[in-house]
Structure 1
Amino acid sequence: MVKVACVAAVSVIILGCHTMTQKPSFEPSPNAVKPVVYQVFTRLFGNMKSANIPWGTIAQNGVGKFSDFNRQALAGIKELGVTHIWYTGVPHHAVIADYTEYDISEDDPDVVKGRAGSPYAVKDYYSVNPDLADNPANRLAEFEQLITRTHAAGMKVIIDIVPNHVARNYQSVAKPDGVEDFGATDNTDVEYARDNNFYYIPGKSFRVPESAVPLGGEEHPLADGRFFETPAKWTGNGARQAQPDINDWYETVKVNYGVRPDGSYDFPTLPDDFRHRDYQQHAAFWAGKSVPDSWLKFEHIVHYWLDKGVDGFRYDMAEMVPVEFWSYLNSSIKSKNPNAFILAEVYNPSLYRDYLQLAKMDYLYDKVGFYDAIKAIIGQRQTTDALEIIQTSMQDIEHHMLHFLENHDEQRIASPEFAGDAQWGQPALVVSSLISTSPTLLYFGQEVGEDGSENAGFGQPSRTSIFDYVGVPAHQRWMNNGLFDGGQLTEEEASLRDFYQQVLNISAHHPAMAGEYMSLHSANRLTQSDYDGSQFAFARWLDDSLLIVVSSFASSHAKSYNLIIPETLVSKLHFADGLFQGRDLLAAGDYQLHVEQGVGNIQINIQAKSAIVIEFKAFEKSNLR
Structure 2
Amino acid sequence: MKWIDHTIWWQVYPLGFCGAPIRTGDHSPAPRLRRLYNWLDYIIELGANGLLLGPVFESETHGYDTTDHYRIDARLGGDEEFDQLISRAHERGIKVLLDGVFSHVGYRHPLFQQALVEGRDSAAARLFDIDWEADGGPQPRVFEGHGGLVRLRHDAPETVVFVTDVINHWLDRGADGWRLDAAYSVPPQFWAKVLAGVREKHPDTWILGEVIHGDYPAFVSQSGVDSVTQYELWKAIWSSLKDENLYELDWSLKRHNKFLETFTPNTFIGNHDVTRIASQVDQQKAVVAAALLLLLGGIPSIYAGDEQGFTGVKADTVDGDDAVRPPFPPSPSELLPFGEPVFEAYEALIGIRRRNPWLVNARVDRLDLDDSQYRMCVYATDSDEFLVLHLEQGGRHVKVYRGEHDLLWSTYSWSGAIA
TM-score range, shorter chain: 0.7 to 0.9
| Distance in 2, Cα, partners of 1:156 & 1:459 | 31
Query: Which residue in 1 is equivalent to 2:307?
Result: 447
Distance 1:127 1:301 in 2: 10
**2:90 paired residue among 151, 174, 197:** 151
Alignment match, 2:264: 400
CA distance in 1, matches of 2:248, 2:236: 7
Q: Which of the numbers 536, 543, 546 marks the counterpart of 2:386?
A: 546
Q: Deviations over 1:182-220 (max 9, x none)?
A: 5746897559999711122336588xxxxxxxxxxxxxx
Contact kept, 8 Å, 2:54 with 2:99, in 1: the verdict is yes
2:146 aligns to what SS in structure 1?
coil
Could you say if the C-alpha distance between residues 190 and 454 of structure 1 is closer, same or farther in structure 2, counting changes exceeding 3 Å?
closer
Q: Which residue of 2 aligns with 1:120?
A: 64
Query: Per the alignment, in what secondary structure is the counterpart of residue 220 of structure 2?
Result: helix
SS at match of 1:313: strand
Per the alignment, do residues 34 and 387 of structure 1 end up closer, same or farther by CA in structure 2, a change over 3 Å counting?
farther
Asked if structure 1 preserves the Cα contact closer than 8 Å seen for 2:274 and 2:314, the reply is no
Q: 1:45 to 1:554 in 2, by over 3 A?
A: same
One-letter code aligned to 1:130:
A
- Structure 1 residues 439 and 559: alpha-carbon distance in aligned structure 2, compared to 1, 3 A threshold: closer
Cα distance in 1 for residues equivalent to 2:304 and 2:122: 41
Distance in 2 separating the partners of 1:205 and 1:506: 61
Q: Which residue of the partner structure matches residue 199 of structure 1?
A: 129
Cα contact 1:91–1:160 (8 A) shared by 2: no
* Change in 2 beyond 3 A, CA 1:143/1:583: same
**Map of 1:227 onto structure 2:** none
- Aligned counterparts of 1:67 and 1:502: Cα–Cα separation in 2: 29
Structure 2 partner of 1:427: 288
User: Structure 1 residues 514 and 313 mapped into 2: Cα distance closer, same or farther (>3 Å)?
Assistant: closer
For 1:338-378, what per-residue CA distance to the aligned partner results, in whole angstroms no more than 9, with x for missing partners?
2211111112323x1222112111111111x2111122212
CA change 1:509–1:44 in 2 (3 A) is farther
Matched, 1:524 2:387: no
Note the C-alpha offset of 1:301: 0.8
What do the CA deviations read for 1:360-416 (whole angstroms, capped 9, x no partner)? 11111111x211112221221x6222223222233342242211111011101223x
Displacement of 1:156: 0.8
The 5-angstrom pairing of residues 178-257 of structure 1 reads 181=111, 184=114, 196-202=126-132, 231-237=138-144, 248-257=145-154
Q: Which runs of 5+ in 1 are unaligned?
A: 1-28, 95-116, 134-138, 172-180, 207-229, 238-247, 259-290, 526-530, 571-579, 590-606, 611-625
Aligned residues of 2:296 and 2:360 also touching (Cα < 8 A): no
- 3-state DSSP of counterpart to 1:485: helix
Give the percent of matched residue pairs that are identical in Structure 1 and Structure 2: 20
Q: Is residue 4 of structure 2 the alignment partner of residue 65 of structure 1?
A: no
Aligned to 2:228: 364
For 1:441 and 1:195, how far apart are their aligned partners in 2? 38
Cα 1:122–1:55 shift into 2, 3 Å: closer
The equivalent residue for 1:302 is: 167
Task: State the Cα distance separating 1:234 from its structure 2 match.
Answer: 1.5
Q: CA 1:126–1:451 in structure 2 vs 1: closer, same or farther (change >3 Å)?
A: same
Q: Which protein is richer in helix relative to its size?
A: 2
Deviation of 1:461 (Å): 6.6
Q: Deviations over 1:488-520 (max 9, x none)?
A: 312xx101011112213333452341564341x
Change (3 A) 1:312 1:508: farther
- Cα 1:203–1:537 change in 2 (3 A) is closer
Q: Which residue of structure 2 aligns with residue 218 of structure 1?
A: none
Report if the CA contact (8 A) 1:345-1:365 is conserved. yes
Report the secondary structure of 2:217's partner residue. Answer: helix
Which TM-score applies when normalising by structure 2? 0.85
327, 351, 354: which one pairs with 1:471?
Answer: 327
Using the TM superposition, give the Cα deviation of residue 58 of structure 1 relative to its aligned residue in structure 2, in angstroms: 7.1
Q: Distance in 2 between matches of 1:516 and 1:158?
A: 24
Structure 1 residues 517 and 354 mapped into 2: Cα distance closer, same or farther (>3 Å)? closer
- For each residue in 1:545-571, what CA deviation from the matched residue of structure 2 results, as whole angstroms up to 9, or x when unmatched? 432222336376x799xx999xxxx9x
Instruction: Give the conservation status (yes or no) of the 8 Å contact 1:36–1:508.
Output: no
1:505–1:90 Cα change, 3 Å: farther
By how many angstroms is 1:324 displaced?
1.2
> Equivalent residue of 1:501, what SS?
helix
Amino acid at match of 2:39: A
Structure 2: tracts of 5 or more residues without a match: none
CA contact (8 A) 1:194 1:292 kept: no
Cα separation, 1, equivalents of 2:149 and 2:398: 51
**Contact 2:31/2:81 (8 A) holds in 1:** no
From 229, 239, 255, the equivalent of 1:376 is 239
> TM-score normalized by structure 1?
0.59
**How much does 1:124 deviate?**
0.2
Aligned runs of 1:342-357 on 2, under 5 Å?
342-350=207-215, 352-357=216-221
The structure with the larger Rg is: 1
* Cα distance in 2 for residues equivalent to 1:608 and 1:553: 13
Distance 1:506 1:297, change over 3 A: same
In 2, distance between residues paired with 1:158 and 1:422? 29
Aligned partner letter, 1:584 = L
CA distance in 2, matches of 1:536, 1:489: 33
What SS does the corresponding residue of 2:251 show, helix, strand or coil? helix
> Which structure's relative contact order is higher, taking Cα pairs within 8 Å and 6+ residues apart?
1
Match of 1:90 among 56, 72, 92: 56
Match of 1:79 in 2: 45
Corresponding residue for residue 390 of structure 1: 252
1:411-462 CA distance string (max 9 Å, x none): 01223xx22x2222111121222121x101111111111112699x832278
- Match among 465, 479, 497 for residue 343 of structure 2: 497
